[in-house]
Structure 1
Amino acid sequence: MALLFSLTLAIFTGPGLSESSPRVRLVGGPHRCEGRVEVERMGHWGTVCDDGWDMKDVNVLCRELGCGAAKGTPSGSVFKPSAGNEQKVLIQLVNCIGMEEMLSQCEYDEDVFDCSHKEDAGASCENPDSPSSPVPESVRLVEGPGRCKGRVEIQHQGQWSTVCKKGWNLKAAKVVCRQLGCGKAILTQRSCSESTQGQGPIWQSQISCSGQEVTLQECHSGPWENNNCTHAEDTWVECEDAFDLKLVGSDSHCSGRLEVLHKGVWGSVCDDGWGEKEDQVVCKQLGCGKPLSPSLKERKIYGPGVGLIWLDDIRCSGKEQSLEQCRHRFWGYHDCTHEEDVAVICSD
């Protein structure tokens, strides 16, 4: 029987986020992003049977560990020291779509009865800690008419760089638009005008995406090289600005149950981890002044929503200009009911 079990996200940094220990790891490899796959259950670490283990599963694992793109599915038995007899094979028949953020969101079978440690699953991901493979820290679109149109800039080691059009394609643009919560990429070939060209450093590594990645960090970045580009070749991307939000259930647009628009459909937001900083971002985005601090009873007067629950585990620093800039689970993934829908009350 396919089940889901709770794994804590291993590498997910940011203000206000959990700093608990990872519930999935790679051991025995040359670096933290390659090795035998191990998961924790009830305080004990165990291995994963390689029956059904494939690149889609590795892709999710690499994403969860913050390790960039998936490279391969080596046998876990090649990584030393081997799993001990005291370790159990905890799960098998892992079945990921490949777009999940965590292994916990995939299906798997707990009834392991025909797997030994000779069949332990392994995974090989890019090592983002290697200086020869720079990994983008963040991405933004600037100089455009809105946050979803503009010149592509990538942040690395705290410095923003423009991106040369050489090697850039629609697949990379799709990932940028997805990461920014801006819908589909609709234009990638436009050149930057003289007034919108950058002036700083140019990213010196070619980025290769499949188009299915959730963030640009998961795409392959080659070693640093001299690309001989100029700012006349800066990349420009335009996306659909498909994200919006509103407060419903009251006579004021500044108080009510929170709903967000994604892919043309309105859905609610789960209150797991929701707090004052998240309220602050919503009120700011709506131009509704400062957030108030209503009681739980006051928040519940707007009633539960219906339909989709789009977002869960949102974490904001309070400095974001829009809720989609805050960290959250992948769209549509949650463990909530509509009884946990977020409601916000702003001062104006």
Structure 2
Amino acid sequence: MALLVSLILAICTGPGLLESSSTVRLVGGPHRCEGRVEVERKGQWGTVCDDGWDLKDAAVVCRELGCGAAKETPSGKSYKPSTDKGQKVLLQLVDCDGTEDALLQCEQNEDVFDCSHNEDAGVVCKLPESVRLVGGHGRCKGRVEVKHQGQWGTVCKAGWNLSASKVVCRQLGCGRAVLAKRCCSTATQGNGPIWLSQASCSGREVSLQDCPSGVWGNHNCTHDEDTWVECEEPFDLRLVGGETRCSGRLEVLHKGVWGSVCDDGWGEEEDQVVCKQLDCGESFSPSVKVQRRFGPGVGRIWLDDVRCSGDERSLEQCQHRFWGYHNCNHKEDVGVICSEQ
């Protein structure tokens, strides 16, 4: 009997099998359903090599995280780098058929031999709609509503604080939470079920549903106590003054206000990031400055001393001075011309 038990233990703990405690996360993206793929092995978080990585592998990650369908498999190095300088590449040659419920169920190699962080895998999943802001201007301001049992309902302000607002703003891919007026007027209050009350968030939760709260649907609130949240609008950019949307003076959106970008240090890598983010193909900007062609901007100059590697998916991920800090005037506004393909 002892020999049989020893054989069983040897089989169950053999080197080819992964521990059931393994987990996965997406890091550095705008929300929990997009970013660089990281896995946990023996208490250590590390990345996944993109050798052979495809949408089938991404679909498993999206399913495991409770996100929507897999949309893209970008390079993981296009997201904000890890602050852990000793982080390792922990997996290589992942091969999923796309039906697995977790990444640990896929074939994979933990003996990483020829991958660096330049080959980290990334995933973009569709963000599932389980919370929304209603009644405000834009999707980042309004009455908080959550989806439960297939029906949208409101959240009572009892127990609500700024940490809970931070979770909602992050979950929606909006900017930071700001202090806001209390909800609601007759025109903006809800009229359906009140699903949630006594939400107690630390601010670090991935979603509002992860916060401790009272029993769903059990409360003593009225719609006069519906919760209202305001987030800064997410980062956005545009080209203005050109013949098409893919050429013009560069403007970025910050705190709901459009402003220009100073050309100090601006070059080909920065042009490429802008064109990529706008889905406008490659940069066609000539070597000479092009901003005079599109005229000077007015109002705020938001960014200065921007430095990109060219791999970033968003200009926001590039290095730059603090928002609004610069030594420029509008004669130095950046202009960009893209191929539109």
Coarse TM-score class (shorter-chain normalised): 0.3 to 0.5
For normalisation by structure 2, the TM-score amounts to 0.44
For normalisation by structure 1, the TM-score amounts to 0.43
